[in-house]
Amino acid sequence: MRKLTVVVVATLLILALTAIPTAQIQPYDLLLRNGRIVDGTGSPWYRGDIAIRGDTIARIAPTITEPAARVIDLGGQVIAPGFIDIHTHARRGIFDVPTADNYIRQGVTTVMEGPDGSSPVPLAPFLARLDALPKSINIGSFIGQGSIRSAVIGDVDRKPTAKELDKMRTLVEQGMKDGAFGLSTGLFYVPGTFTPTAEVIELAKVAARYGGMHESHMCDEASSVVESVKETIAIGEQGGLPTHVSHHKIIGVGNWGRSVDTLHLIDEARVRGVDVTIDQYPYTASSTGIQAALFPAWAQEGGREQVLKRLKDPSLRAKIKTESVRLIRSERGGGDPKNVVIARCEWDTSLAGKSLADVARLRGMDPTIENAAEAALWLVEQGGCQGIFHAISEVDLERILRHPATMIGSDGEIPIFGKANPHPRSYGTFARVLAVYVREKKTITLEEAVRKMSGFPAQRLGLLDRGILRPGMRADIAVFDPAKVRDMATFDKPHAYAEGFSYIIVNGQIVFEGGAMTTARPGRVLYKR
């Protein structure tokens, strides 16, 4: 009996002795040495090494000496969590450019789709298509209220019947079951603009049951921006879910300064327990359709055919023009036809980059505001265009950026390099915050900026295994030189990648290094769990 015990103990000892060294010498796949770790929580940076095994951060320590298949000395560059962009239109481009170079090259490793009330309905086939696509970037989606309303009752200005409302509830529920991160609304757009708040709240309650959030392109970002923020808060408060103001901005010179009031409302709501947050892009121009921006909502009801019919009726046309003049003078148009620039017209690519003043001149008219409105009507008649609108103040931008409940979101897309004249936000948002608002203007600290780009949006979306650098988290990582990082895309020359990033890692694999995309396609579809 005693002999047997000795044998058993000896065997266990041998097993233990052989097991421990095996575990110790199993090499890491990747070791990032000598970095300044900005971990995504907002805490000050610290010096350390990060070891990755598979798709996971295996260890973080002041010095890691164990072997790794690949070791990179970062020479003191910043190691941050890969950035998470909570508000993108990435389905414009992801299937053409699955490497999403414009995002990866500014440190973004996850993009969220389905914003502004607009998403594929149902969501599952779209997510399955994305899943089958070899891609560099992670992608998730919201389910869009506008798309659901459009599918159920069309782009019309009326309330739904009880049966239609039920159908919409079912579609929201289906979207959430398919993996949506919440309900998005675009109450500025047709048909979102025809939706009573109470109806949005009914649908928000469905998303709430599945742990989703609500995010909104609000009804108005100009003269009624304060009322719109109130509505967004009400949707969260009465819908029983986190609510979120997308791309918060104040449009129109006459409205500048109102971010004081909107942020005050958000602070008050948070104090009484409403979970409301914000995202923002760091530019003083917005981008959307010319028709959406410069036509009154009533003129857009019922789809394109109806719009064209109204434009043919002289008295309705005059009414639309009067409203367009007002919108150019005191809202999106920034008070000057030069402040509205065409990003893209599918029917005439040569118009990209021209302003409404240019279009008026091309049509043989002086570039007055009245003629610019006429030019806008003409553009819509021809087929419509995406526009860029310079009408935001820097003071409001910085005030919103400093707010602790503000995160960064590009509102961008995945452009085909060199094609059309997109808003530079698609290429530059994250790098611009780091270059202009951290390094140059010192509006916020580096750690705060990184928190707004990673840990904060991850927490918001419930991506509990991303957004922070810590062992056990997925290895989505951006490495950059804080002295060199900068956005290169401008309104005149938007097709330019950000600079200063040296390595971008997605799910443990390097997708960008040495100034070029690699062949790795480790991007995943993310689902709300």
Cβ nearer to Zn ion, comparing 244 with 486? 244
Q: Is 493 left (phi over 0), alpha (psi -120 to 50) or beta?
A: beta
Rank residues 188 and 456 by Cβ distance to Zn ion and give the closer one: 188
Structure tokens at 11: 């065997």
Sign of CA dihedral 281, 286, 292, 295: positive
Q: Which stretch binds Zn ion (CB under 5 A): 74-82, 111-119, 153-161, 328-336?
A: 111-119
Residues 6+ apart with CB under 8 A from 229: 218, 245, 262, 265, 266
- Give me the residues paired with residue 478 across strands: 80, 504
Instruction: Candidates 99-107, 209-217, 255-263, 510-518: pick the segment binding Zn ion (CB under 5 A).
Output: 209-217
The yes or no reply on residue 116 touching Zn ion (CB under 5 A) is yes
- Segment interacting with Zn ion (CB under 5 A) among 112-120, 135-143, 146-154, 473-481: 112-120
| Cα–Cα distance for residue pair 479/81, rounded to 1 Å | 9
Residue among 77 and 280 whose Cβ is closer to Zn ion:
280
Among 36, 214, 217, 486, binds Zn ion (CB under 5 A): 217
Pull the structure tokens for residue 418: 């060199």
Binding flag, residue 310, Zn ion (CB under 5 A): no
Three-class secondary structure of residue 381 per DSSP: helix
What are the two backbone dihedrals, phi and then psi, of residue 346, each rounded to the nearest 5 degrees?
A: -60, -30
β-bridge pairing 285-289 and 386-390: antiparallel
Q: Give me the least distance between CB of 411 and Zn ion, in Å please.
A: 6
Which C-beta is closer to Zn ion: that of 49 or that of 116? 116
236: closest CA among 189, 196, 269, 187?
269
Residue 249 in the binding site for Zn ion (CB under 5 A)? no
Strand ranges, E, within 435-508: 477-480, 501-506
Q: Which is nearer to Zn ion, 117 or 140 (CB)?
A: 117
> How big is the site for Zn ion, counted in residues (CB under 5 A)?
2
Strand locations in 28-180, DSSP E? 30-37, 46-53, 56-61, 71-73, 78-81, 83-85, 108-113, 138-141, 143-144
Q: How far is the CB of 338 from Zn ion (least distance, A)?
A: 23
Residue 217 or 466 with smaller CB distance to Zn ion? 217
- The answer to whether residues 299 and 323 touch, using CB atoms and an 8 Å cutoff, is yes
| Sole window of 114-122, 142-150, 154-162, 483-491 interacting with Zn ion (rule: CB under 5 A) | 114-122
Question: Which CB atom, from 409 or from 522, has the smaller least distance to Zn ion?
Answer: 409
Q: Least distance from C-beta 186 to Zn ion, angstroms?
A: 6
Strand 243-245 and strand 213-217: the pairing is: parallel
Minimum CB distance to Zn ion, residue 491 (Å): 18
CB 377 → Zn ion: shortest distance, Å? 23
CB 331 within 8 A of CB 337: no
In whole angstroms, the minimum distance from the beta carbon of 410 to Zn ion comes to 11
Write down the least CB distance from residue 288 to Zn ion, Å. Answer: 7
Decide: 522 and 506 in contact? Cβ < 8 Å: yes
Q: Name beta bridge partners: 505.
A: 477, 510
Judged by CB, which is closer to Zn ion: 91, or 217? Answer: 217
Determine the residue with CB nearest Zn ion: 217
**Binding site residues, Zn ion, CB under 5 A:** 116, 217
